[in-house]
Amino acid sequence: MTDNLGPDRKSDSASSLDSSPASASSPATELQPSCEALIANISEVIAILDAEGVNRYKSPNVERLFGWKPEQLLGHSSFDQVHPDDLSAVLAEFATLLATENGQIRGECRYRHADGQYRWVEYDATNRLTDSNIAGIILSYRDVTERRHAQLSLQRSEQRFRALFEQSAVGYILANSYNQIVEINRAGADILGYEPSELVGVNGRDLIHPDDLKQQPIEAVTDRVLHQHARPEIEHRFRRKGGDYVDVWVKVQAIQLDGGPKHDPGTGGRTHDQVHDQTHDQTHDQTHDPDTRPGLPAFSYDHLQRYLGAQGGGAPSHRFAEGKRTPPP
């Protein structure tokens, strides 16, 4: 993935090389010793390319970071180390860069280490061909393999837990500290006879029977969860779409996100409400232990926290509820 950053943006690496003399006609560009020593200790490789992409300068730290001696690369195309599957995209971006005076691009590709393995790199390139001091393309790139692998791992994890959330036989509701529903899965919506999208933004208190609210105000439950770290299990009558009420067992737990405290509405702490249909259960006690319910997937609160953490921060404190419809007396 590559971004064209426009002609007026210059990387710090590019700026640091501006004052270094270069000759467009020479096969290799030399930098001042002080600049060379500085570059040798940074975590990204600096290169200067000609209009064909041939290496005219390669910083000495390329050996420490990627195993290549600079002299092995000078005079050779910088594209020789690009993974074949990424080459066409990189060449297309390079062509765009050549056509834009003082333009800059940023992207990622796989780069061949001297040991033959490919590493993911993030690169920035600036067109300074018309600058008499540089007369070339300034390229900087850094190893982002671990970051890339972490992103892919998080994406796979998110997909797995998204599937568990959506396909679980247990109803799950994600609500903010003001009791507004942020997200509800299919099982939870089915208990109330709605489509999930119809319940997003609805305040939970508007769904609870007024007599139950008087007995156990939802605000009091939220306060216990967010401020006292309680995990209450309660039963309320919830209004279905058709206007009738259904008895629902609800288990509530706070989910902490982004390192913020659970009680701070500005840090992304969420609470988890589990709302499960109890109609087909034989005993009420069975509903109080999710692990004893037959046929339910392993969907722990740790999993939920990891999944919800990937959904973005900055949200208010949230409740995540798990619940179940209780059998009629």
- Neighbouring C-alpha atoms within 13 Å toward the C-beta of 269: 19
**What are the structural domain ranges in the chain?**
2-143, 157-325
Q: Write the CATH number of the domain with boundaries 2-143.
A: 3.30.450.20
Exposure string for 276-302, b = 16+ CB within 10 A, e = fewer: bbbeebeeeeebeebeebeeeeebebe
Q: What is the DSSP letter of 203?
A: B
Q: What is the pLDDT along the chain (329 residues), one digit of tens a residue?
A: 445 444 444 344 433 343 333 443 444 555 556 566 666 668 899 999 999 999 999 999 999 999 999 999 999 999 999 999 999 999 999 999 999 999 999 999 999 999 999 999 999 999 999 999 999 999 999 999 999 999 988 888 888 878 888 888 888 888 888 889 988 999 999 999 999 999 999 998 899 999 999 988 888 888 888 888 888 888 889 999 999 999 998 888 887 654 443 333 332 334 456 665 544 333 233 333 333 333 333 333 344 444 444 444 433 344 455 555 554 44
d(CA 273, CA 308): 13
Q: What was the pLDDT predicted at 238?
A: 93
The answer to whether residues 16 and 30 touch, using CB atoms and an 8 Å cutoff, is no
Q: What was the pLDDT predicted at 325?
A: 56
pTM of the model: 0.52
The answer to whether residues 93 and 2 touch, using CB atoms and an 8 Å cutoff, is yes
Pairing of strands 181-184, 318-325: unpaired
Count of residues making up the chain: 329
Residue 296, sorted as left (phi over 0), alpha (psi -120 to 50) or beta, turns out to be beta
φ/ψ (deg, to 5) at 258: 60, 25
The answer to whether residues 217 and 225 touch, using CB atoms and an 8 Å cutoff, is no
The dihedral over CA atoms of 137, 142, 144, 146, expressed in degrees to the nearest 10, equals 160
CATH class, 157-325 region = alpha beta
- Neighbouring C-alpha atoms within 13 Å toward the C-beta of 176: 16
Alpha-carbon distance values, 50 to 23, 68, 76, 126, 146 (Å): 11, 20, 11, 12, 31
d(CA 185, CA 201): 14
Q: Do domains 2-143 and 157-325 have the same CATH topology?
A: yes
